[in-house]
Chain A
Amino acid sequence: MSKKSDKKAKALSKKAQEKQKTILEMLKNHGAKIYDDLNSGQFPKFSIPSRSVSNIVYDKKLRQYILGNSTALRSSKNTSQLRSFTQLMWLAFFANRLTNEKKSSTLRDIYYSSQAFAIDFEDQAESDNIIVDLEAVTSRPREDFHIFPEERSSIFGDLNIEYTIPGYEGKKMNLSNHPDGYSIGPSLTTAELVDTSAEIVIAIEKGGLFTRFVEEQIDKKFKSIIINTGGQAPRSTRTLLKRLHDEMKLPVIILTDGDVYGEHIAMVIKSGSANAAHLRELTVPDAKWVGVWATDIEKYKLPTIPMTESDIKRCYDLQKDPRYLDGIWKKELEVFLRLKRKAELEAFSKYGLTNITDKYLPQKLELAKSL
């Protein structure tokens, strides 16, 4: 290990420690406020940004949905809020332990852990909702508190990382050593990104195509890092995409099925979802959706299947979204509605198994430069 990289590793480790310190400090402050309220004979309360639909607005500058100014008061005196108040306090308490001890947990794990504390979550949906509350109060994503979703997407390509999780601190890894790809879990999300030879990130909606791309050595052919979003990209994957873009200065392109859901998968990576309007740092505003477009269906004469009624309804819903009011987003929606048909990524196999990698992808990569 060279001296230079050792130094860098130390710097990275320090950065992670500082982040941990900030989080712990913030939690402590929240706790102290509640403590003081109780000690002075008052029912503790705090305010939380309202997550109601009327308070979710689109910020053109940030190019994502954000929460407006309205806040709600949560008081432990209000018996209808008392339970959720206690649940949130418990979650902060539990997140504090996780962060402090550098342990990871999942949404499901949180739900089960609560049972040891008589916190009465009725189901996981309720505990998930309290986790969103914690994010809203602290304006921090749950991953900062070491809470991760169950679902995993994966990554493959020439990228060196260095772990920060306990027991692996300083350990390095190159993400092109295993052809099945690497699952994007807590350790990868919190790892430091050291260096890469890649020049682009290709996010792809489906595991099948991800494997094909690895087999076809797309990483080498196009100097790329390939990421399987596994449908709608999980938060940790979006965070990783953002870091690859921001820290490694890599452009991000997105390949999805040729339908309205695919278009929206790309949009969420680019500008987030209304569900996560309380969080920043989850979007890659420069990411580019390169296909499969509705216009590609005609252009490449792709085999199609008819859109269902819910597909069509989804199109009309998205037309009301401010992000779909111009550019290719608007245009492609209109074409989908005109065609009333959709195509899968696999549709290209009509012209040969490697058609998508040999013909379509190069064209799209070229096109992406001009988008």
Chain B
Amino acid sequence: MASIKEKFNQISPSEFFYRNRDLAGFSNPSRSLYTAVREFVENGLDACDQKGIFPDIHLSIKAVDPEKPDPKPYILTVKDNGPGIESKHVPLAFGTVLYGSKFGLKQARGMFGLGATMAILYGQITTNKPVVVKSSTDGQIMEIFELLLDIQKNKPVILKHKNKEVSKKGLTVSICLEGDYSKAGSKIRDYVYQTSLITPYASITFDDPKGEKFHYSRMIKTMPKPPTIIRPHPYGTDVETIRRMIVDSQFEIPTIDDAMIEKVRKDLGLSKKNFSFTAIMDKAKKRWKTLSRQVRVVISLMSFLKMDFEKLNKIRIEDLDVPNNTLSYWDFGDSTSKTVELDPESPYYRQLTNTVQGETLTAFLTKKFQRVGPTTAVKFAKFAGFKPERRLGTMTNQELAHLSNSLQKFDEFMGPDSSCLAPLGAEPLEKGMRKFFDPDFLTVIQRAPSAYSGFPFIVEMGIAYGGEISTRGIKVYRFANRIPLLYDEGSDVVLKVINDIDWSRYKAKGDPPLVIVSHICSTRIPYKTAGKENVADRQEIERELKLAIQFMARKLSVFMNKRGQAEAAKKRANLYAKYIPLISQFCTELAGKKKEPNFQKILQEEKPIENE
């Protein structure tokens, strides 16, 4: 067992990612440049979001040697006005892989650290240049680091570190990497454009290598509320997750070393003189209620071993065999393994076995999951065929699998908590879309939270028609957790739903100048592929999308009807104005009259009512 673990450790996470960089989106210079931009911009936006700061993001890409043909080294710099990163964390955050604080269950654009560090790693291996990190957490002093990543050891190497006085908080990350802007340019510009659409409260500037400047100013002055971290929902777990959660809930038998013995002695309030076994037990009995779990476990062990501190110091606990009620230990004194019987009648017996066997099922469910109270937990235990007080540590693999299956099947859990989601909100989306597209018609909707497989999600959508929209046909902007999804459009569930709709039923025929914005927020977006560009068609998500689109399409149809009526009236009036005078002219001569009839009356009546 131990030897296998050591073998695993021989590859550091950095090396693992270095070897598998394709997976993280660093397969070629074009893709890598785009991915690096994405990672840094999203980190900047996330940092601001979490602190409720209106983001000001400045992105710049400069060629090291503009004369060279692509692919060539570029300097990519992203500057934000977020909280910055404390000086002591900077080397680890940017110089190791898998460092970060984003492992809780809440909606975030991506995993902090991972992608950004991959970009740094990619820059380092393609150009051998360090990453430059400038961070100010107080708006006065800026810490400037130049770092390299030691891939084998997964450790940062600090090349330079200095301070500078500044007037603003924020973080600036700058890397040098091999890229291909001629190929990635349009993708990056699309990304910046669409990102500013879904973050209308942010100001984003992009200086591209050709000297062009793209600026998207802040369109609204309200921030969506930041998401909170929550426990998992029973529907969103599998056997492996449960196994890991159980390990967390179990209390290991503490290692009994000098420090531990010292702690027990201190907690019991024993001076050095009184250390006989019975004295210790007496004292423990009196102070039991004030003792910590760890100390209680040590006392319990001592009660069965009948040892004082001195003896305890010379053994190592080997195994606690609950079914056989035995406790075995290694005695350093005579170098033998010894066993003592555990008396189930002893008051310390439960303390010891409970520790090894972990929490009861009901305690586990209520403490580790969201939306599970004691009543539901007991109901569930009955449903699954477990005793509510059953200890998780005593469950076999089969029973764990049954537990996991039952969690999926039990339909009395309340829906998952959506407070961990951060949708943009209907109003900001509407304002953003109005400023972006300046349409004749606009409607947005935020659906109520829903869930698939225990993962909460919210669908937000908007439809804009006509006005300044110059594209023909339905243009769809897809977002997931405020990230634009630019590629693999065809296989996406949003596109599927939109294409399934008979738009002519909603009076949007032919190639209407129509823009649809779709935003899916979830703690876990069900991407179809590792590229994270297309959302899989989960039934629950599909349903929400469909309801949202239908709701908006009905409004569109009302608008189109009104407009259609106005247009038809206008057309009709034009026809009358053209033909009635002719009819008048012909019938006057036919009837042998000199003066034309007064046909103005009917033309007046048929004048269209001006639309608002």
Contacts and interface: CB of A to CB of B under 8 A. Distances in A.
Same assembly: yes
Contacts of B216: none
A31 B582 contact: no
Contact of A93 (B575, B576, B590, B605): B590
B588 interface: yes
A77 B532 CA distance: 59
B572 A79 contact: yes
A179 B25 CA distance: 96
Nearest to B604: A41
Given A28-B591, A35-B593, A79-B572, A90 B586 contact: yes
A35 B591 contact: yes
A31 B589 contact: yes
B349 to A, nearest CB: 96
Nearest to B580: A76
A110 interface: no
B405 interface: no
A39 interface: yes
A89 to B, nearest CB: 4
A76 B590 contact: no
B66 interface: no
B589 A41 contact: no
B403 to A, nearest CB: 71
Given A41-B601, A89-B582, A35 B587 contact: yes
B582 A34 contact: no
A76 B579 contact: yes
Nearest to B574: A79
A32 interface: yes
B592 interface: yes
Interface string B573-603: 0011001101110111111110001110110
A42 B586 contact: no
Contacts of A31: 586-592
Contacts of B572: 79
Given A38-B599, A39-B598, A41-B601, A92 B582 contact: no
A27 B592 CA distance: 10
Interface stretch (A80-88, A245-253, A362-370): A80-88
B590 A27 contact: yes
A27 B582 CA distance: 17
B602 A93 contact: no
A330 B257 CA distance: 123
A93 B589 contact: yes
Contacts of B575: 79, 82-83
Contacts, number: 82
Contact of B582 (A28, A36, A86): A86
Interface in A71-109: 76, 79, 82-83, 85-86, 89-90, 92-93, 96
B598 A38 contact: yes
Interface string B42-73: 00000000000000000000000000000000
Contact of B587 (A44, A79, A82): A44
A34 B576 contact: no
Interface string A33-60: 0111011011110000000000000000
Given A39-B597, A82-B579, A89 B586 contact: yes
B590 A38 contact: no
Interface residues on A, range: 20 to 34
Contacts of A96: 589-590
A313 B297 CA distance: 106
A98 to B, nearest CB: 13
Q: Is the interface of A mostly helix, strand, loop or mixed?
A: helix
A32 B579 contact: no
Residue from B587, B588, B592, B601 with most neighbouring chain A CB atoms (10 Å):
B587
A1 interface: no
A343 B44 CA distance: 94
Nearest to B592: A28
A201 B586 CA distance: 43
A101 to B, nearest CB: 13
Contact of A34 (B579, B587, B598, B602): B587
B590 A44 contact: no
B582 A38 contact: no
B612 to A, nearest CB: 24
Contact of A44 (B571, B583, B598, B605): B583
A291 to B, nearest CB: 48
A42 B606 CA distance: 11
A87 to B, nearest CB: 9
A197 B493 CA distance: 91
A35 to B, nearest CB: 4
Given A35-B597, A38-B597, A38-B599, A85 B590 contact: no
B589 A85 contact: no
A39 to B, nearest CB: 4
Contacts of B601: 41
A119 B588 CA distance: 17
A19 B580 CA distance: 31
Contacts of A38: 580, 583-584, 587, 597-599, 602
B600 to A, nearest CB: 9
Contacts of B576: 79, 82
A15 interface: no
Nearest to A117: B582
Residue from A31, A35, A36, A85 with most neighbouring chain B CB atoms (10 Å):
A35
A354 B480 CA distance: 95
Residue from B572, B580, B582 with most neighbouring chain A CB atoms (10 Å):
B582
A44 B590 CA distance: 14
A41 B602 CA distance: 6
B503 to A, nearest CB: 26
A118 B582 contact: yes
A314 interface: no
A27 B598 CA distance: 21
A34 B583 contact: yes
A92 B590 contact: yes
Nearest to A34: B587
Nearest to A30: B590
A86 B579 contact: yes
Contacts of B602: 38, 41-43
Contacts of B605: 41
A37 to B, nearest CB: 8
Contacts of B599: 38-39
A89 B587 contact: yes
A76 B599 CA distance: 12
Contact of A83 (B579, B588, B590, B598): B579
A239 B425 CA distance: 82
Contacts of B589: 31, 93, 96
Interface string B407-431: 0000000000000000000000000
A28 B586 CA distance: 11
A127 to B, nearest CB: 15
A86 B583 CA distance: 6
A288 to B, nearest CB: 43
Nearest to A80: B575
Interface in B173-199: none
Contacts of A119: 582
Contacts of B582: 86, 89-90, 117-119
Nearest to A44: B583
Nearest to A85: B583
B583 A89 contact: yes
Given A34-B591, A76-B579, A82-B579, A93 B598 contact: no
Interface of A: 27-28, 30-32, 34-36, 38-39, 41-44, 76, 79, 82-83, 85-86, 89-90, 92-93, 96, 117-119
24 contacts: A28-B591, A30-B590, A31-B586, A31-B587, A32-B587, A32-B591, A32-B592, A34-B587, A35-B591, A38-B580, A38-B584, A38-B597, A38-B602, A42-B602, A43-B602, A76-B580, A76-B583, A79-B572, A82-B579, A83-B579, A85-B579, A86-B583, A89-B586, A96-B589
- Across the A-B interface, the 6 shortest Cβ-Cβ residue pairs: A31-B590, A39-B597, A93-B586, A38-B597, A31-B591, A41-B601
Given A89-B587, A117-B582, 9 more contacts: A31-B586, A39-B599, A41-B598, A44-B587, A83-B579, A85-B579, A86-B579, A89-B590, A92-B586
